[in-house]
Structure 1
Amino acid sequence: MATANAQPASDHAQTESVRLRLLEAEADGLTGSAASTLAAQQAMAGLGGLGALVHLRGDVPGELRLAAASGLGPDVTAAWARLRGDQDAPPVRAVRSGSGVWSADTTGGASGTASVPLPGPDGPIGALSVLTTGPGSPDPEQWSFLTAVAAWIARRTPRLGGDIPAWSRAAEGTGGGTDAELRMSELTVALAEAVSSMDVVRAVQERVLPPFGADGMLVEVIERDRLHILGSTGYSQDFLDEIEGVPLTTHTAATMVLRTGTPAFAESPAEFLRLFPPLESLMVASAKRAWAMLPLIASGRAIGCCVISFTQERSFSDEQRTLLTALSGLVAQALERARLYDAEHTRAQELQRGLLPRALPSLPSISAGARYLPAGQSDEVGGDWYDVIRLSSDRVALVVGDVMGHGVTEAVTMARLRTAVRTLADLDIPPDDLFAHLGDLVRGLGDDSYATCLYAEYDPVTRICTFSSAGHPLPIVVHPDGTVVRPGPAVDPPLGAAEPPFATHELHLPDNSLLVFCTDGLVESATRDIDEGLDQLERSVSRAVAQSTLSSAVRRDEELEPALDRLCDAVMADLLPDREHTDDDAVLLVVHTRGMPDGDVASFGLPDDPRAAGEARRHVREQLALWGLTDLEMTTELVVSELVGNVIRHASGPARMRLLRGTSLICEVYDASPTTPRIRRAASTDEGGRGLQLVAAVSRRWGTRFLSEGKCIWSEQPLTA
């Protein structure tokens, strides 16, 4: 058994308020146990339980008597009719302790019972209980809702008056057709406002079940000639598993109703068996005793079935049958529209996932975590993006961008820009040159096309981050001691409006620093300008870093990605607590930097004459012996001989060589010439021209990057075990 603190959760205060207003509206005019029964139905629906009970204090001290019940048959509720004060039942414990209680048991096929006290001026006056179906105790939001319903019952209890009725009368739920008719307009509005399929299910649950006194609901939809459960209330998981995914050719009440296209009403188990003779075991498993089975037909075709059920036998008047049939038509139309939205929504999510990195790469010089949050009321497709790109020599490019606007068009533009950035980054050109090319691309998209972007390169050897920004918020830097710094240089205008040259800035980053990138959707809103948002981001990052496990993970040399993911979650929750009502996409990218140890870097000057190749080979032999990499000696000598030989023959200026030991062995040869070496096809009779082919053959990767004073030709070889 477990005891839980049932404190309301602020994140779901709005949902609670809506449900309680609905309860107040539905209870208008109801007196006595009918109001408590309605509240029990709402509590059961809110927790997806099998049934609910309301107990009040009796005449005997400590005794609790059942005042109302919903969703439970007489065999179950009889056991709850009178509870002694010395019993260990959850309602008694809740009243005794004054707090929420969850007990794991299998009463009535449930997985447990959750009980909260009904507050009174002199202590609890009773308890509200729900027989739960989940694998454990309700979550904090469910406890909060249960507590709110209990308070509502307690406020109305003094107005109930009279003796506490027997449980059998309280659970009858005989809402009439006139009452349901009055709520027809409310259901119509709710269905018209429903966006997703689950919105339709909630509308049925909240607007159809209470007026008819129903305590069970099934909404099933047809997918690939099978019936799949979209939503349910008041059924055990075992029963749901039994009917989930049945073929339309199977004989069930739902499939038979769909074949005829005509609603079926069963006022008792006997009538159910008369209508559906082979289904006795299924009927018993459902634990229901009256049913309204309504085919959902939209645009002339069946799309599913809605079953409204009751734990007590009941009759359906002609007026009620007509009303339920009309309601099924409204539900079918709303569901058809909502499923179109669901399909588009799913495609939009898949498109966005395809446009963003599926996983951030694991690189020697950085670890990264990222979050993308679409605008709350959007189709989840927008123009924000982020990227982490591996460059030569264990360097890495970090990119964050934002295409102005929101929607599929902007997402396609974003995809083009992201592809262009990756292509240009692969050429190893500096950030300012990259932006010059990217700006041409944006201007070619049209006069009204604009995008902001920040492109940064981190070099683990120099520990310098070089970046350019075109209208984009600058990164926040967190030093290893927790100091938070925000760079101050002004940014250039957005791509599409700015003209070259673009400014380039440098940051020196101590080992184990953090770089925090974002898009304006994270820090700017209708109630907060971008400067205020960046200030809040700075405070939030500082707080999240102080509370994170990042430092201990660094000390223990553990993987940092989980700690960075948790840090991202904390910052997103702090900056955007109401995620469903954001009006812009938001990206957060957090990068932890690591410098290359000095002992893994070796630089050598080379003479400007034919002796350079021999000198380079000697340096390679000595350095690889020092590093214990003599198995790479032969291939590395070949690589540096060809690269240095090319410099002597075709380039100019003094040459130098650098060796880097990381997850691979990197050989770099520098010269002052801007010419690009290219692999050429050598004829069978040629005596030369195969040098770069040999370099490519023994290297995992090789290439050229251009510098302000010349170029660097580099080669990477994998380290053997």
Structure 2
Amino acid sequence: MRAALLSPDPIRFHAGLPGGSGAHAGAPDGSREGPAAADELWLDVAIHPGPTVLTCTFRPAHRLPEPSDEEAGGDVPEAPSVAPLYRPIALAIALSEAVTARQVSAVVMRELLPAFGGRRLAIYLLQDRRLYLAWENGFPAGFLDPFEGVGLDAELPGVRTLTTGRPLFFDSMERLTAAYPGIALDAERGSRAFLPLIASGRPVGSCILGFDLPRRFSTQERAALTALAGLIAHALEKAQRYESEAALARGLQHALLPRRLSAHPRVETTGRYLPGTQGMEIGGDWYDVVESGDGLALVIGDVQGHGVQAAATMGQLRTAVRAFALGDRPPDEVLAGTNHLLIDLDPGLFASCCYLRLDPASGVARAARAGHLPPLLRRPDGRTEVVDLPGGVVLGVDPRARYPVTEVRLDPGAVLALYTDGLVERPGADIDDGIEGLRAALAEARPPAAGPPLPALADLLTETARRTTDRPDDIALLLASRPGAGSGPRPSRPATGPHPP
């Protein structure tokens, strides 16, 4: 569909009918080998672009005439430039998926430059009345360095186009030097377009397009580029707001996560947190260890959504849970009270939570969960299982919700793992498979008493996630263990906040 929006000529491809099968039915190149019945499972689809609509035609693939030798392998003349017919909707569709300034710039380079035959691109963003390079492609190395941070009083076309709000087109490099004597040139031949990036009347930056050969910018091309510059400006403005909000959310979440977990001489705990790396994927995952009477409360939770609101709601819930835990309230009352608080706050979000109150002397934990993933327990002999922990609905939905309490025993040398869905959920995969993978990884690791300490085990369980550069969700992990017989008491380790991705 995007190709049809960009091209003045019909776009053709083959599409398989649902349920199609057969040895030759899966050939997307329209192969005619095999019986006709197999070909009948494929349709030849043609999309014809128009000024305001797209028209589609469908024909059985086996009814198409055989291609001639010239069509199959002969030279095809170069298609005319699509610049006069470039549709702003094509760029708008691509820009809708970009959430950072770099992603917006990459879309411009991928979508806009080829359509107009451009070879060079530079995008500058305005900050404190100075222009800073956000993206460049095709210019000689170091050529743009002297222009970094130029003020709005500089006599340069990239500055003038922004201060006046008018695009500047130069059909040749001679015309550019005539208008701006002494300006540094990156090439002897070519043409340039300087476009103002203005969104909602607010200057955002400027965009420079470079072409290898002199060219006349037609009235239609000038109008199209000016309109497209407006789309780019709005996308960059949105990206700047997005990135500012992401920085605020990261700072808020970092401040709200525990710097040090409550310690007990008979229990070792450690936590890990990894933020998401896709756009604004700063979520509401949290973990905590709180003194509760003569025991410890182990908590992990996940607020729905991402951004500042999710992080702020997480902070409110964490504070509420800590207050209930410090009062040594039973797990079901902790979750019920937190549930009522979230409903009263009415942020439009819900949250999952798992809460365990551990008696360090006996190893007995009384646990309850609200829509959260079940804990994992590795026994001293290495057997690892998903804890059968009946639960109630997520927090913030039903004011009458009840949260049953179950006893879990943490023997000396055993390890209890609480985690959020970001650690086990993968796009297109069943979450049960992810939980099973984490269970297997926990089972295969050596017990802390015989091998690496608990922090090293936490690093091992999050190693794959830390190496993943494109994490769609944030991750929280909390591990707890009671030292085995013969090993001295171990202090709890400092909590690990946002981990390097």
- The TM tier, using the shorter chain, reads 0.5 to 0.7
Given that residues 492 and 503 in structure 1 are in contact (C-alpha distance below 8 angstroms), is that contact kept between their aligned partners in structure 2? Answer: no
> What is the CA distance between 1:224 and its match in structure 2?
1.2
Corresponding position of 2:464? 570
- AA matched with 2:84: E
Match of 1:329 in 2: 230
TM-score, normalising length from structure 1? 0.49
Q: Which residue of 1 aligns with 2:409?
A: 507
Distance 1:271 1:482, change over 3 A: farther
2:369 to 454, 457, 469: 469
Partner of 1:366: 268
Q: Is the 8 A contact 2:252 2:312 kept in 1?
A: no
Any idea what SS the aligned residue of 1:391 has? strand
Does the C-alpha gap of structure 1 residues 361 and 314 become closer, same or farther in structure 2, counting only changes over 3 Å? farther
Is the 1:190–1:203 contact (alpha carbons within 8 Å) kept by the matching residues of 2? no
Q: Is the 8 A contact 1:228 1:245 kept in 2?
A: yes
SS, match of residue 308 in structure 1: strand
Aligned to 1:551: 446
Instruction: Kindly indicate whether the alpha-carbon contact (under 8 Å) linking 1:465 and 1:507 is maintained by their aligned counterparts in 2.
Output: yes
Does the 8 Å CA contact 2:410/2:416 hold for their aligned counterparts?
no
Q: Is 1:595 matched with 2:475?
A: no
**Judging changes above 3 Å, is the alpha-carbon distance between structure 1 residues 475 and 29 closer, same or farther for their aligned structure 2 residues?**
closer
Shift of 1:414: 3.5
CA distance in 1, matches of 2:194, 2:109: 15
1-side partners of 2:286 and 2:144: how far apart? 42
Following superposition, the deviation at residue 375 of structure 1 comes to 11
Cα distance in structure 1, aligned partners of 2:374 and 2:282: 24
Hey, what's the Cα distance between the residues in 2 that align with 1:308 and 1:491? 59
Q: Which whole-Å CA distance do the structure 1 matches of 2:3 and 2:262 have between them?
A: 51
Superposition pairs for residues 602-681 of structure 1, below 5 Å?
A: none
Which residue in 2 is equivalent to 1:220?
124
Distance 2:321 2:467 in 1: 30
- The code of the aligned residue for 2:96 comes to E
Contact preservation (8 Å) 1:191, 1:330: no
Q: Is the 8 A contact 1:443 1:449 kept in 2?
A: no
Is the Cα–Cα contact under 8 Å of residues 258 and 305 in structure 1 kept in the other structure?
Answer: yes
Cα distance change on mapping 1:428 and 1:498 into 2, 3 Å: same
Letter in 1 for 2:464: A
Q: Residues 275 and 483 (structure 1 numbering): CA distance in 2 closer, same or farther, change over 3 Å?
A: farther
CA distance change for structure 1 residues 459 and 241 in 2, over 3 Å: closer, same or farther? farther
Which of 299, 316, 320 in structure 1 is aligned with 2:200? 299
Find the partner of 1:184 among 87, 92, 113: 87
What is the DSSP-based 3-state SS (H/G/I as helix, E as strand, rest coil) of the residue aligned with 1:219? strand
Cα distance change, pair 306–395 in 1 and its aligned pair in 2 (3 A): same
Which secondary structure state, in structure 1, belongs to the residue aligned with residue 390 of structure 2? coil
Q: Displacement of 1:227 after TM fit? A: 0.9
Pairwise CA distance, 1:209: 1.0
* Larger helix share, 1 or 2: 1
Q: How does 1:207-606 map to 2 (within 5 A)?
A: 207-236=111-140, 238-280=142-184, 283-284=185-186, 289-310=190-211, 312-319=212-219, 320-355=221-256, 357=257, 361=261, 365-371=267-273, 380=281, 384-391=284-291, 396-402=296-302, 412-432=312-332, 434-435=334-335, 437-439=337-339, 441-442=341-342, 444-445=344-345, 451-479=351-379, 481-492=381-392, 496-497=398-399, 502-511=404-413, 513-519=414-420, 533=431, 535-545=432-442, 551=446, 555=450, 560-561=454-455, 563-570=457-464, 580=472, 587-595=475-483
Distance 1:362 1:22 in 2: 58
Question: Aligned letter for 2:191?
Answer: A
Is contact 1:369–1:565 with CA below 8 Å preserved after alignment?
no
The 1:345–1:305 alpha-carbon spacing in structure 2 relative to 1, beyond 3 Å, is same
- Cα distance, 1:523–1:233 mapped onto 2, change above 3 Å: same
Residues 266 and 449 (structure 1 numbering): CA distance in 2 closer, same or farther, change over 3 Å? Answer: closer
C-alpha separation in 2, matches of 1:444 and 1:578: 35
Give the match's secondary structure for 2:107.
helix
Aligned residue identity for 1:193: S
| Equivalent residue runs for 1:100-115 within 5 Å | none
Shift of 1:404: 6.5
Q: In structure 1, what residue type is equivalent to 2:158?
A: A
Shift of 1:321: 3.7
Q: Distance in 2 between matches of 1:571 and 1:526?
A: 14
Give the secondary-structure state (helix, strand or coil) at the position aligned to 2:118.
coil
Give the 3-state SS of the residue equivalent to 2:203 in structure 1. strand
Q: Please report the RMSD computed on the Cα atoms of aligned residues, expressed in angstroms.
A: 4.8
Cα distance, 1:220 vs structure 2:
0.9
Deviation track 1:586-626 (CA, whole Å, cap 9, x = no partner) reads: 654241524276685xxxxxxxxxxxxxxxxxxxxxxxxxx
2: distance between equivalents of 1:562 and 1:238? 44
Q: Partners of 1:228 and 1:322 in 2: how far apart?
A: 26
The two structures have a TM-score, normalised by structure 2, of 0.67
Distance 1:252 1:447 in 2: 49
Q: Is the 8 A contact 2:290 2:322 kept in 1?
A: no
* Contact 2:271 2:479 (8 Å CA) reproduced: yes
The structure-2 alpha-carbon separation of the partners of 1:435 and 1:287, relative to structure 1 and needing over 3 Å to count, comes to: farther
CA separation of 1:563 and 1:484: change in aligned 2, threshold 3 A:
closer
Q: Secondary structure at the match of 1:315?
A: coil
1:394–1:336 distance in 2 versus 1, CA, 3 Å: same
Q: Is the contact between residue 389 and residue 406 of structure 2 (CA under 8 Å) also seen in structure 1?
A: no
| Cα distance between partner residues in 1 of 2:3 and 2:460 | 37
Q: Which amino acid aligns with 1:419?
A: T
Q: Aligned AA for 1:254?
A: G
Q: Distance in 2 between matches of 1:499 and 1:437?
A: 10
For the residues of structure 2 that align with 1:410 and 1:187, how far apart are their CA atoms? 33
Shift of 1:539: 2.1
Identify if the C-alpha distance between structure 1 residues 259 and 179 changes in structure 2 by more than 3 Å, giving closer, same or farther: same
Number of residues of Structure 1 aligned to a counterpart in Structure 2: 428
1:424 alignment partner AA: F
Q: Distance in 2 between matches of 1:474 and 1:448?
A: 25
C-alpha distance in structure 1 between counterparts of 2:82 and 2:73, whole Å? 21
3-state secondary structure, aligned to 2:134: strand
Per the TM alignment, residue 307 of structure 1 is displaced from its structure 2 partner at its CA by: 0.4
Measured at CA, do residues 213 and 410 of structure 1 come closer, stay the same or move farther in structure 2, by a change above 3 Å? Answer: closer
The answer to whether the Cα contact below 8 Å between 1:465 and 1:509 also exists between their aligned partners in 2 is: no
Instruction: Give the unaligned 5+ runs of structure 2.
Output: 12-69, 493-501
Q: Per-residue displacement from partner, 1:198-229 (whole Å, max 9, x unpaired)? A: 44323321222112221110111101111122
Q: 1:17-63: CA deviations, max 9, x gaps?
A: x9xx8599669799xxxxxxxxxxxxxxxxxxxxxxxxxxxxxxxxx
Shift of residue 394, structure 1, vs aligned partner: 9.8
Give deviations 1:61-116, integer Å, cap 9, x for gaps: xxxxxxxxxxxxxxxxxxxxxxxxxxxxxxxxxxxxxxxxxxxxxxxxxxxxxxxx
Larger Rg: 1
Name the SS of the counterpart of 2:183 in structure 1. helix
| Percent identical | 29
Could you say what secondary structure the match of 2:236 adopts? helix
Report SS of the residue matched to 1:277. coil
Give the Cα separation in 2 of the matches to 1:524 and 1:398: 22
